Structure 1
């Protein structure tokens, strides 16, 4: 017997709008990790990102009855998350958001991938873990130093693995502009890595 296809995001949101609370739980489970990672890359604070993730899904729930299915769900939820993050950053100030909390490394959220890197080390155990955390910190600082527009595109392309067409739909910015910002961001990161003595092998755009 053929396995029934899982409902897509639009169907789940429509079901929730019709009173099916379980449909919303499935939707949250499907998206919570991606949204947390996106928010964390933007605001730089794990606990704040967790709070903002909750706010994103509150807004999704409130907007469910008026959601128009012709709008791609992924673009829609990323726009909500971006607005939530931008509001938070204006409220607390950019300088605070540039501080990376050690809690992100010592007590990571299971949905958060703070070190999406392969770090080669001949030293096993805790020392290797410290080296990986230090590398992640340096990369994080490099990303934080980018101009806002370039940093946003880098986060969406490199960490969220969205293509330029998808990013264009979310931000309503031409693909050519996004590509220019992305490659400028990558070049800034390469210069930064050379300056801090980190091998470019640790920073692979993979695209």
Structure 2
């Protein structure tokens, strides 16, 4: 658990990590039951959760961050990060806004960043240095993404020049069309964590048991 009041040296000139923590986790809920705790709030041991562990990785990278989250997960997110680093979605009833909207809100919350790394909140196996390595590549590429053994993963980074397009994203498409439109640079990393997410109860059990591995989707 990260103590929110602790002083943390942040590289203010670096790209901002936009952590997406607003989805419904429908695949997890379908397997675990609709009454199950949201996948991001699932415990991982040591008093942490899926989102808590992912945020700890980002904090350890010393990159600035902003977390886009739904009202239902706000309390869980602010156990690890300060409220000033959270961009809550408005209450949305039964219709989620989608990943594109979350990205737009996160980028707009940090408009003067040198770039943005988009990271789903369910990737607790990622290494902090992987975030920094992808961020560094934005100095020479409009789009950079993590990959492991040739397989594309997260984070996906966007340089500052793409700000106006990022803040106009909406719906469920995310930023795929931007990745397709601009030259995208794959950053090969010795980190299988760039491919590992927690989508199902089985994924959670593997991670908690120390057996997490990338599963083809």
Give the TM interval when normalised to the shorter protein.
Answer: 0.3 to 0.5
Write 1 or 2 for the structure with the bigger share of helix: 1
Q: Which has the larger radius of gyration?
A: 1
- Give TM-score, length-normalised by structure 2: 0.34
Write 1 or 2 for the structure with the bigger share of strand: 2
Higher relative contact order (CA 8 A, sep 6+): 2
- Give TM-score, length-normalised by structure 1: 0.35
